[in-house]
Amino acid sequence: MSAPLPLRGVKVVELGSVIAAPYAASLLAEFGAEVVKVERPDGGDALRNMGVRANGVPLWWHVASRNKRLVTLDLKEEEGRAAFLALVDAADVLLENNRPGVMDRLGFGWKALSARNPRLVMASISGFGQTGPYAPRPGFGKIAEAFSGAVALTGAPQDIPLHVGFSLADACAGLAAVYGVAAALHARDVLGTGRGAHVDVALYEPMLRMAECQAALTRLLGTAARRQGSNDPWGFGAPGERRIATARCADGGWIAAILEPGSTLDLDALAAAQARPDALAALRAAGVQAAPVQDGMSLQQDPYFAARGDVIRTQDGTAGTLAVPGAVPHGYDRGGLRDFLPSGPPAE
């Protein structure tokens, strides 16, 4: 299958900065939308300066901005405002993650923009959402993760709870905004309402939704659901249940295994005695479910992920040869899309 991208012709304006709205816009671009990212004149998106660089090229920024067109507008000046409104008037989707109130103060609130362009779908992502007593508060991903209940459900019970080690709340909020945009476009164009909608995502809400059993379990058990180590999904590791165990192999690679109740397997000893492929083979021979714990390097060395298109190789004139994430789902004709925002002259 090599199907045409489904969002061909859909125009998206992104007024976003680290991390949720830019992530949402990059997903829409990978479904074929034409994304124009609007940046402030004073240095633009802070994502330009985050994380590791290669030959001076900020890698995260160049992945997060691939397939977008970038414009800088001063929204406090008349010319910049007019240009922004011209973009929004022609747009199907506006993505933004400013603190609630900022868009209204700029004159770009939902009511104003929707009155100009009734077909507009606007997705606003903020720390605590557009309504409720905490709406004006600043919110970053880590605060949202802690607020969602998910951190309390991560880590060993005797230790300080853990944040998942990447921008989980931001990325989940970006994905939830994309889902909201998909539903809103469906209503507009398939149900045929002809009208847009204002999608409102609080950074913590997608994770609260994903941790779907936490409140009910707390009610049922009479005590808050608590972290129990690595127990994905719900309930692994409870007495008499299967559990997920991890161990470090002789070559430094980690494995995760599902141990049945009553298992007497010494996973640590088995792993410590051999390299990861041998340890995994031994576990498979013993009928134990186990798999490698992949990291950023092993993902690009394992042929499975390259074969699926999850890992693609790209060349940048300045940053050099890199591995970057492929777009999902696979099977679309993405021949016109970029793997990496080019940073310099073409590579030799």
Partner 1 sequence: MRAWCAAPATRIPNGARRSRRAAVGRGSIQCEAAEARGMTTDETEAGPLAGLTVLELSGSPGPAFGAALLADLGARVIVCEPPGGSALRRLGPEAVRRVWWPIAARNKLSLAVDATHPDAAPVLDRLVGVARMMLRDDDAPPWREAAARATNPPQDVHLFPTGADRPELWPWSTAPELAGAASGMMALTGENDGPPVLPEIPLAEHATGMLAAAAALFEQRAAVLEGRAAAPLGFALHEGLMRMIEWQLPVAAAQGRAELRCGNRFPMNANIGNVFRTRDGGLLTVSAATNAVAERMLRMIGGEALAADPRFRTQADRRAHMDEIEARIAEWMGRHDTAEALALVQANDVVVGPILDAGELMADPHVAAREGFVEVALPEGGSLPMPGVMPHGLGGAVRNAGPAPGADSDAVLGSLGFEPGEIAALRRTGVIWA
Catalytic residue numbers, as ranges: 170
Kindly state the smallest distance separating residue 151's Cβ from partner 1, in Å: 5
- Give 73 or 316: the residue with its C-beta nearer to partner 1: 316
Q: How many helices (H) and strands (E) does the chain have?
A: 13, 13
Q: Which of 166, 262, 269, 348 touches partner 1 by CB under 8 A? A: 166
- Give 24 or 88: the residue with its C-beta nearer to partner 1: 24
Q: Which of 41, 101, 107, 320 touches partner 1 by CB under 8 A? A: 320
Other beta carbons within 10 angstroms of residue 218's beta carbon come to 14
What is the contact mask toward partner 1 in residues 171 to 200, using x (rule: CB under 8 A)?
Answer: xx--xxxxxxxxxxxxx-xxxxx---xxxx
Kindly state the smallest distance separating residue 119's Cβ from partner 1, in Å: 12
109 binds partner 1 (CB under 8 A): no
Where helices occur in 38-138 by DSSP H, the ranges are 59-64, 78-89, 102-106, 110-116
290 binds partner 1 (CB under 8 A): yes
- Give 84 or 114: the residue with its C-beta nearer to partner 1: 114
Kindly state the smallest distance separating residue 184's Cβ from partner 1, in Å: 6
Rg of the chain (C-alpha set): 23
Kindly state the smallest distance separating residue 149's Cβ from partner 1, in Å: 5
- Give 72 or 289: the residue with its C-beta nearer to partner 1: 289
Footprint of partner 1 on residues 140-159 (CB under 8 A)?
140-156, 159
- Give 86 or 226: the residue with its C-beta nearer to partner 1: 226
93 binds partner 1 (CB under 8 A): no
310 binds partner 1 (CB under 8 A): yes
Q: Which of 94, 168, 249, 270 touches partner 1 by CB under 8 A? A: 168
Chain centroid to CA 258: how far? 27
Do 170 and 127 meet the contact criterion of CB atoms below 8 Å apart?
no
Buried b (16+ CB within 10 A) or exposed e, 131-165: eeeebeeebebebbbebbbbbbbbbeeeeebebee
317 binds partner 1 (CB under 8 A): no
Q: DSSP of 66-92, one letter per residue? A: TTEEEEE--TTSHHHHHHHHHHHHT-S
**CB burial class (10 A; 0-12, 13-18, 19+) of residue 74?**
middle
For 198, the enclosing helix (H) or strand (E) is strand 198-202
Do 282 and 290 meet the contact criterion of CB atoms below 8 Å apart?
no
Footprint of partner 1 on residues 25-54 (CB under 8 A)?
26-27, 31, 46, 49-54
Footprint of partner 1 on residues 256-275 (CB under 8 A)?
256-258
Tokens of 297: 């390097």
